[in-house]
């Protein structure tokens, strides 16, 4: 099978989802030809740099502005959305050579921009490949929802009715979950991991992280944790944030709590499995990974917009505690540590909401859509042949009648 996966490198989640889908297709069908394309970068590297650079600067420096744009784009303020859609429509044309050259059997998109481009391509340029949109959040913002998409993959059942109310056909919505790479499913021994970090396997262990970019008030949260009464130990993953890594390395020298600082790592699952509570910003991929590892969450510094919506989902379903007010961080965490039954229930809820089979389920869906498309194409071809044959038969019958009439007249003479 030939699969074209379109994404955009805004944060880590979209690209990780694309990579996970590729890996599961290869596991199930090693002869597959799979191409992952960073859509904006493919269209124009300068545009990619401007768009992604502006996005990252906005969420770091003025996240409230990003939140307003996120809200307005789904509300009554449609000007920004209209401008964005026109921009995307123009850019979509640039994908035609890619489609013609690679000629995929199916399209998969893991970002709203590329999903809208696929929708435009299928409408304006009669691209007839089946298309899948993998929504990498826990709320269906309108930027994800477009016509001409054959399957929308969602992370939870609450999204289904919301999407139907926004005009998406229910039969195209599949509650399969956000895929994580097969390597994430590897199991690690908690005691071995903690010993490697010179930590105590019997202590309550808290993991702090801020996504691949190390965003959020991680330093503030760490300083609060150092003042918690209970005997805990801490692991912090700073991602690609070198400044944060050096800052925390200095702080831990004077910390009363045993601490291990980790920079960028490809084995987040190893550290999640070794911990009892994860404190993080609620990115879609991080949430998915935490649910699979059955680790309750404490939420801080959500990016206004999609991460706030993700947080609402987690809090509503008792999968997390709210640490948005950093000043109350100590109080909230101490209360949770004093209530082991609540922590146990949160862990059970994480297990119930997790979808560890998402990758394989998405592969099965891809196969089904490809097969349905092949059958439909065969039927259309058969109908065209039948129509052609019917036309030919009509023509020959007319000729036959003409000759019969002519012969009759000649015979009478």
Indicate which CATH number applies to the domain containing 291. 3.40.50.2000
| pLDDT at residue 411 is higher than 50 | no
Check residue 39 and give its pLDDT.
92
The model's pLDDT over 263-303, given as tens digits with 9 standing for 90+, comes to 999 999 999 999 999 999 999 999 999 999 999 999 999 98
Same-domain status, 227 and 279: yes
In this structure, the answer to whether residues 302 and 268 fall within a common structural domain is yes
**Within this chain, do residues 152 and 92 fall inside the same structural domain, yes or no?**
yes
Measured CA to CA, the distance from residue 178 to residue 156 in angstroms comes to 9
Query: Could you tell me if 210 and 292 lie in one domain?
Result: yes
Q: What is the pLDDT of residue 215?
A: 81
Please check whether residue 94 is in contact with residue 44, taking contact to mean a CB–CB distance below 8 angstroms.
Answer: yes
Q: Residue 3 is encoded by which pair of tokens? A: 């699969």
| 130 and 167 fall within a common domain | yes
If asked whether residues 236 and 253 sit together in one domain, one would say yes
The string of pLDDT tens digits covering residues 233-261 is: 999 999 889 999 999 999 999 999 999 99
Q: Are 283 and 319 contained in the same domain?
A: yes
Q: Are residues 336 and 197 in the same domain?
A: yes
Residue 303's pLDDT is what?
A: 83
On whether residue 384 sits in a domain, the answer given is no
Q: Is 239 left (phi over 0), alpha (psi -120 to 50) or beta?
A: left
Least-confidence region, from 95-109, 308-322, 396-410: 396-410
Does a structural domain hold residue 397? Answer: no
Q: Are residues 135 and 198 in the same domain?
A: no
- Asked if residue 394 is part of any domain, the answer here is no
Ranked by mean pLDDT, which of 21-35, 58-72, 121-135 comes out on top?
21-35
> Is 307 found in the same domain as 214?
yes
117-126, 189-198, 374-383, 388-397: which range is least confident on average? 388-397
Mean pLDDT calculated for residue range 363-384: 81
Residue 161 included in any domain: yes
In the structure encoding, which two tokens stand for residue 208, read together? 């702090």
Asked whether residue 409 is domain-assigned, the answer is no
DSSP alpha helix (H) spans, 73-178:
79-92, 96-102, 112-124, 158-165
pLDDT tens-digit profile of 342-364? Answer: 999 999 999 999 999 999 999 99
Residue 381 forms part of a structural domain: no
Confidence of residue 399 (pLDDT cuts 50, 70, 90): very low
- Name the pLDDT band for 396 (thresholds 50, 70, 90): very low
State the pTM of this model.
0.85
Residue 166 predicted with pLDDT over 90: yes
Domains of the chain: total: 2
Looking at the structure, tell me whether residues 104 and 192 fall in a common domain: no
Structure token pair of residue 49: 């740099």
One domain for residues 241 and 333: yes
Whether 393 is covered by a domain: the verdict is: no
Q: Which domain holds residue 27?
A: 2-179+358-375
Q: Minimal CA–CA distance to 107: which of 145, 24, 117?
A: 117
pLDDT at residue 75 greater than cutoff 80: no
How much is the average pLDDT of 22-43? 96
- Determine how many CB atoms are found less than 10 A away from the CB of residue 97: 10
Around Cβ 338, how many Cβ atoms within 10 Å?
11
């Amino acid at each position: 099978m030939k699969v074209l996966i379109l994404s955009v490198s805004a944060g880590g989640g979209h690209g990780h989802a694309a990579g996970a889908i590729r890996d599961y297709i290869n596991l199930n069908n090693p002869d597959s030809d799979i191409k992952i394309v960073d859509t904006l970068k493919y269209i124009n590297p300068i545009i990619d740099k401007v768009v992604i650079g502006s996005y990252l600067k906005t969420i770091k420096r003025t996240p409230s502005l990003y939140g307003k744009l996120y809200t307005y784009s789904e509300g009554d303020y449609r000007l920004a959305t209209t401008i964005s859609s026109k921009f995307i429509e123009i850019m979509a044309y640039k994908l035609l050579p890619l489609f013609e050259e690679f000629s995929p059997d199916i399209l998969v998109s893991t970002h709203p921009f590329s999903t809208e481009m696929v929708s435009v391509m299928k409408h304006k340029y009669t691209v007839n490949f089946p298309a899948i949109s993998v929504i990498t959040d826990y709320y269906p913002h309108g930027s994800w929802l477009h016509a001409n998409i054959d399957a929308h993959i969602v992370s939870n059942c609450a999204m289904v009715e919301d999407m139907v109310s926004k005009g998406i056909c229910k039969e195209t919505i599949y509650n399969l979950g956000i895929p994580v790479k097969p390597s994430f499913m590897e199991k690690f021994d908690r005691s071995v991991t903690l010993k490697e970090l010179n930590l105590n396997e019997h202590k309550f262990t808290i993991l702090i992280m801020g996504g691949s970019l190390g965003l959020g008030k991680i330093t503030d949260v760490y300083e609060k944790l150092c003042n918690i009464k209970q005997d805990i130990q801490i692991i912090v993953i700073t991602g690609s944030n070198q400044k944060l890594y050096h800052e925390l390395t200095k702080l831990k020298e004077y910390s009363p709590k045993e601490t291990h600082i980790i920079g960028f790592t490809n084995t987040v699952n190893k550290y999640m499995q070794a911990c009892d509570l994860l404190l993080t910003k609620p990115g879609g991929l991080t949430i998915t990974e935490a649910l699979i590892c059955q680790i309750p969450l404490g939420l801080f510094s959500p990016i206004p917009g999609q991460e706030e919506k993700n947080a609402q989902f987690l809090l509503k379903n008792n999968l997390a505690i709210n640490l948005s007010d950093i000043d109350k961080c100590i109080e909230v965490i101490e209360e949770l540590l004093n209530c082991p039954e609540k922590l146990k229930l949160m862990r059970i809820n994480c297990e119930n909401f997790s979808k560890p089979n998402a990758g394989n389920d998405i592969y099965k869906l891809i196969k089904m859509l490809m097969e349905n498309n092949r059958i439909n194409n065969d039927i259309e071809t058969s109908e065209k042949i039948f129509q052609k044959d019917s036309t030919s038969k009509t023509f020959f019958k007319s000729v036959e009648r003409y000759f019969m009439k002519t012969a009759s007249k000649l015979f009478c003479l």
